[in-house]
Structure formats: structure tokens, C-alpha cells
Structure 1
Amino acid sequence: MLLDAIVLTLVGAVAALLPFSAAYRSRLTRRLARQAGTTVPADQVDALEARMARRAWGVGGGVALAGLLLLGWALLGPGRGEDSTGSYLVLSAMFVFGAGGLAVVEILRPGPPVDGPRTARATSPGLADYLPPLVRVLVPLFIALGLVVLLTALALSWSPWFDADTIWRSPLPLLAAAIPVLSLLSVLAVRAVLAAPQPARGEVDLFWQDLVRASTLSSVVFPPALVAVFALIVCGSVLDDAASVAAQAQGQVGPGWSLWLLIAGYVVPPLLAFGALAATLRWGGNEMQHTRSRLWGGRMVGTAARAGRA
């Protein structure tokens, strides 16, 4: 795990340093424009690049912190080099701390930069104006499912059919503690983003603020659910290992039903994730389309004017 921790630290450091590159910031902004289905007006580029860079810094800083913590554990804590779930621990730490870093950035800096005279928005849109209904239903559903499965897996450590040490030395305790924390950070980030004022120079400025806000809310709402889906995969593998270790300790061959736990862990979560994604795209649309429909009547503000000038 020492090598994994070093690689994770380097990946996080690189991810945190990349936003200092103008080319990388421009790439992030172009990706946002592709999601919106239009181009970014020239007067919006700097503000959007600054916002996207802060998000990248948050994720990269969180991943680097996860790498440093794992590095310290690998050097000073109990050895994990032979643990079959060590790679799951590294991935769990990367997902959890990356998502947490993004949420913290949005809690601390939720609003757009204000660099001149602007007017404030008269209305206060809510989460329903930025995220499709299906997303707002599926995210808490997946979080609840992940927590139930994790707590059940931890409870099985007291049964004679599963080895307790295998379960408690796995990523399951980390994930069981991380999902509620990430969910809380997500709620705080959503509140901070929605409560932030939207001072705008005009309609185009406000339109792009709405699109960025929709993208931001999506990026802080989804991670706890994704971590919960990942936890389902980890549960299947860990319980399979724990059942085999317990059987071998009793002088038996690993039970056949533990194989089904492993298969279910690898097959069911991706099916749930892909099914939810397909249903969201089919009936709910993405957050950009939903925001344009709810707040702008489906219009692409500023696009026609630029086409006319050209």
C-alpha cells in the first residue's frame, strides 16, 4: 500500500496544480460549454475559469490529503501490504476525500466573483430549479441503500460465518463513517450555493451563473451516492473474503454462497448505477437542460445575438 499511497499523493498534487495552467482552465470551461450545448461568451470566460479552477483545487487537494494520510498509515501503522482489500482502501480514500474537498470549497466560496457594478436577482431559485426530480429522488435512495448494506456487513462481523478482523480491517468502517459525513457536507454545500447572491451585469451573466450553479450543485450532490454505490462493490468482496477466512479457520473449504456475494457485489451496483443514469437521461434530462427549462423557458440566452452579429 506504500506505493499506492505515494501514487495517490502525486495524483492529488498534480490535480491541484493543473488549474494553474491556462490551457487546463480553458479545457474545463469548454467542457462546461459542451454540457450546456453552446459557447461561452468572451466576457464570461474569466469568471467561469476561476470557478472551475476552485473546484479542481478542492478535488485535487482532497485526493492529495488522502494520499498523505495513507502514506503515514503505511509507514507508521499496521502493515497492509498483504491485505487483499488494500486497493479498495486506496480507492475509498480517494473518492471520499476528493468529494469532501470539493464540498468544502463550495461551502467556503459558494458565489461568483464580483468585480464591478451589478444588480441582484429578485427571486431565489431552489434545488428543484437546478436538478431534475429523478436525481433528487435517486441520490438519497442510493445513499440509504449503501448505508444499510454497510451497517449490515459490519453487523455480520459478530456472526460465526464471517471473520470479524477481515471486516473491520477493510474499508467498510471508513465508508460507513464517510457517507454520513459526505452527505452532511453535501447538504451544507447545497445550502451555501443556493444562499449565495447572484449579482449580474445582465441577462447573459445571470444565465451563465445559473448554468454554473447547476453544474456545481450536481457535482456536490452526486458524490455521496457514488461512494455508496462503490461501497456496495466493496461489501461483496469483503464479505466473500471474511466468509472464506472464517471457514478456513474452522478447517473447512470456503462456502459456495460467499461466491454469490462476490458476484452480486460486482454485478448489482453497476446495474443500479447504469439503470439510474439511463432513467435520469431518459426522463429527467441533465442539469443544464433542466435549468434552462425551469428558469429560462428553454432559451439559450445570448446565442442568437452572437449569431446575428456574426
Structure 2
Amino acid sequence: MMENYTYNSFTLHLEGLNVSKESIYPVFILIFLSYLFIIVANVGIVVVVVMEKSLHQPMYLLFGNLSVNDLLGNTIVVPRLLVDLLRPPSERVISYYECVVQAFITHIFGTTSHTALMIMAFDRYVAICYPLRYAVIMTNQMMIKLTVSAWGVAFVLVGILLGLTIRLNRCRTLIESSYCDNASLFKLSCENVSINNIYGLTFTVVLFTGSIGSIVLTYTKITVVCLTSKNKSLNSKALKTCSTHLVVYLIMLISGFIMIILQRFPQYSDYRKLSAILFVIVPSILNPIIYGMQSKEIRTFMSKFFESKKILPS
């Protein structure tokens, strides 16, 4: 194992995925195809939401926001991962600044995944519990405020997280992960990292508690409204939109929990690295599939788009 050459070195070694020679190309192709699908599907969703005026509604704009986040997270992680897969371990080198940027964006991605889904839960709550006041509450100004809040909270919390790590001196050069994150960066230091551990743990607890708490609260109120309402149309719409949102949220939550739990068990480092990659890739693949399939408006627009393409040549 390569380790520890110079003090405060600006050249780091990235451990990456440990894959056998026979598995390198199958794994490369699988990850590449997954990334290609993520790019095409999420760019497609963003383009559809922007182009189709009937989709200029809070729910679809928030969904487009989620797609932008998925594109950002995957683009900063996957291309670098694919390149490193084809390199021998000794040549997997990354500059310190590039590593910090990658860590910053991956944490922004993870945090915004939570804050964006919390706002989507609030949107569903207003739409189902206060349908007559929905247009008054969810105005364009409110949408801008909520979107800025989703990204702003992430930038502030992650900025402090990485700021506490950047201040540390480094005595190691090996990033023991498949890509750079805060934990792998502060582990390069031989100084006391108690503050980093305390803030990181507090950050995670606050984010997950706020996220789970808001989802439980909004869905409890939605369930109460649906059970007491005799409006079958309302109940059907609520079940459809809420089940979609809940599935997306649970996929993200479970993949996040697996990654955090495996951080505490160094003996399972290969599983931890794999779970970190799946945390980025899996929700980003499933989000456009789940929302795209469930949304009648998106399906209608896509069918019209492809029909017009068929008619054009003739």
C-alpha cells in the first residue's frame, strides 16, 4: 500500500475501487452505461420541464432541481472514477485542490438531495391539505425562496464542514476511498480531529433528523386528510404523487445510511467504497424513471415529441 511521503503534500494518491484484472472492463462498461443513462435521462427531464409551459408548476420545477443536483453529483464523481479504473493503483494521483473541490461538491450533492426532497414533501402537503390555497402559497417568489434555501443551507453547512478540514496540516497522502470526501480528507491529518468528528456527526444527525422528521410530519398530515376525506379523486392523486416521492426518498435514505454505517467498519472498506458509488449512481438512475413514469404530463410531452420526430422525415 502506498502511503505518506511528504508533509502537506499537494499530490495525493486515490485508492479507488479494488477490482480484479478480469473484472475491470465489465465494471467499467456497467458504470459507464449507468452514467450515460443518468446524463441522458436527467438532461432530458430538465429540457422537458424548461420547454413545456404546462410543466412550469412547483412540483415539476422542484423535480428539475433534483435532476440538476443528480447531474452535478455524478459528473464530479463518475468520469474520474472511470479513468482511475483503467489506471494501475500507483498512477491514481489527484491534486489536493481537486480533491477538496470533489469533496465539496459530493457533500453538496448529498445534502441537497435531502433538502430538495424536504421541499417537495412540503409542496405535496400544501397541494393535498390546502388545495384551494395552493396557488396563493406556492407562488414563483415562494419557489425561488425554497430553491435558494435548499441549495443555500447545503452550501453553508458543507462550507463549514470542509473549512474545518482545510485548516488541518497533512502528514499522509493516501485517500482511502473511491472518491474524495470530507472524512477521507481529514484522515490525512496527524492533528487532533475531534472538532471535525463532532461537527460531522452533528451535521449528519441534524440533516437526517430534519429530513426524516419533515417527511414523517407532512405524510402523517396528508394521511389524516386522505382518511377523513371522501373525495376519491383527491385520494387517488395523493396516493400517486406521494408514493412516488416516498419511494425516491427511501432509496436515497437507505443508500445514505448504508454508506454512513460502513464508515464505522474499516474491515469492510471495499463494501464502503462500493456503497459510496451506489449512493451517487442508484438514486440518480431511479429518480427520472420513477418520476417520469408516474408523471402523466411528462409522458404526454415525450410521446408528442417522439411522434413529431417520426412525422418530420415524411
Alignment TM-score, normalising by the size of structure 2: 0.35
Larger RCO: 1 or 2 (CA < 8 Å, sep 6+):
2
